[in-house]
Structure 1
Amino acid sequence: MYFLYPAFLFALLSLAIPVVIHLFNFRKYKKVYFSNVQFLKEVQERQASRRNLKERLILAARLLTLLFLILAFARPYIPGAQNANAGKQQVISVFVDNSYSMETLNREGSLLDEAKRRAKEIASAYNINDRFQLLTQDFEGKHQRLLSRDEFNDAVDAVKVSSQSRSLQQVISRQENLLQNQPGAARSVFIISDFQKTEMINQ
C-alpha cells in the first residue's frame, strides 16, 4: 500500500491524545456515602468489569476515529498495473512536426506554436529526473541525445519550420532507435503533428 500524501502519517502521533485522556478522565472519583460498607463492596465488584469494558470501548472508538481521519488525509492506494513504472526513470521521445503545413494559423497562432506548447505540457507531466528526446522533421544528430526537462524546453523553443517531410513510419523508427538503447527505463513515444492530435505509445 502506498500513500499519496505520506506526510500526514506524522499525525499518527496524535493517537497518544485519546490514551492520555483515557488515563486521566476515568480516574476521577466521586464521594458516595454508604451506611453499610459491605454493600459498597458488593456494588464495586458487580460494576468493575462493566465499567472497564465501557472505558476500553470508548478508547477504541476514539483511536479508530483519529486513525481513519489521518488515513483519509494521507489517501492510501494500492498500485495497479498503471503504476508498475512508479519510481523508475522514464525516457520520453516527443516528435514535433515542423513541416510547412504547420505554418497554418489558428486563433492561438500557428500550428507549430501550438505543437510547441503541447510538447512542453507533455514534459511538465513527468518528473524532473526523467529524460526527453526532441525529434523534428530535420532528423538532426543533436536530436539523438537525451535532454533534461529544462534543456528539452529550450530545444522546443528553438524549433523552426523546415522544408523536410518524413513519413509517420520513419518518425516512429527514428524514435525507437533511441529508445532501444535505454534498457530498464520506462519508455513513451509522443507524436504531435498537423493532424491535430497527440498519440502516445507505451513500450
Structure 2
Amino acid sequence: MSFLTPFFLWLLPLTAIPLIIHLLNRRNLITIDFSTLRFLKLLEKESIRKLQILQILLLILRTIIILCIVMMISRPVINGIFNLQNSGESALHAIVLDDSFSMAGSRDHVQITVRKILNQIPDKNQLIWINTNSGLQFKGLREDIPPIESLVKSTFLGESLINSLNILAVNSEGEFTSKELYILTDGQYSSIKELNNNSDQLGSFHIYTFIAPEIENNLAITQLNIVNEILLPNDQMEIEVSVQNSGVENIENRLLQLIINEMIVGQQLISLNPGNIKIFTFKTALSKSGSHSGIVELDGDDRMEDNRFYFTLNIPNRHKIAIISDSKESSYYIRESLQALNKFGESLIISEFIDFNSPQLRMHEQDIIFHLNPEI
C-alpha cells in the first residue's frame, strides 16, 4: 500500500487524543457526600463491568474515527497485479505557476514551496508544469523534471489563468486514479476571479492554491503612454505614467523621476493607498531630433524589479505629411494649422494631392496622410 498524499500521515499521533482524554477522566475523581453505603450494594459487579466495557468500546470507536479521517485525507492506494504506482499512471500532478510580473519579488518563496510539493510526489507519477505566460514547460515523469531554477521564472507580462487551464485540459487526458492541481499565485483579485469562473474545467482535479506572501512596501510602474501623436523638436510633449501600489502599506511622498538621455527632466512626489492605480503626467521638450533614451524611475522599496520603465523617443528630422483634397479651398484650414506648427519649415514637409492616383504620391514615404471629403 502507498499513499497519494503521504504528508498527512504526520497527523497519525492525533489518534492518541481519545486515550489521553480517557486517562485524564479516570484521574478526575468527584467526591460526593452520602450517609450510608447500603445503596452501593444495589450495584452488581456485572453492571460495573458492563460500564467499563462500554467505556473501552467508546475509546476504541473514537480512535478508529480519527484514524479513518487521517487515512482518508492521506488517500491510500493498494498496489495490485497492475502496479499503477510504478507505471507512472497512478496519479497526475499539475503545477500552474503565475509567472506574471507581480510575482517577481516572490521567487525564493515560490522555489521553497515547489520543492515541498515535489517531495510529496512519487518519482513514477506523471507531472505537468505550466507557466501562465510561458505555457507548457514540462510533461513527463516526476523523476525527469529539470532543475527548479529553470522553471521558476517571471516575465514582464500579465497573462490570465484561462490559457493555462486550456493547456492543462489538453494535456491531462487519460485514466488516472487521481488528478492533483497546485496553483501558485500572488492571489490578485483578477486571478482568483478567473479561477472561480472556470471551475467547471477543473471538476476532476483536487485543487490546492498557494498564495505568495503580500509585499508590505511596493510601488510599481505598470504603464507608460506618450500623449503626443506627432513629436517635434522644441515642442512640448506629455508623458503619462501609471503607478500602482501593490503593497499593503500607504505610500506617501515617494519620488518619481523622468530621465531622458541620462538627465533628470522631471520629478514628482507621489502618494498612493494600497491597491490604487494613478496616472502621473510629465511635460517636457527636446531640442534635437533623433532617438532619445528615457527612463521613469521610482525610489527603492521591497521589490526593485518594477521600479524602472525604459522607453525610447524617436523624433524624425522632418515629418512627411500628405493632404489629399479636390481643391485648395477645402484644405485651407488644415494646411494653415500645419504651417503654424512647422516653425521655420524645419519640422514638416507638407505636400498636397488631388487624389490617390497622383503619380507624385508615394504613400509608403508619408508619415501622415489627410484625406479630405472622402466619398462614402
The TM-score normalised by the length of structure 1 is 0.48
Considering only CA atoms, is the larger Rg found in Structure 1 or Structure 2? 2
The TM-score normalised by the length of structure 2 is 0.30
More strand by share: 2
Higher RCO (C-alpha 8 Å, min separation 6): 1
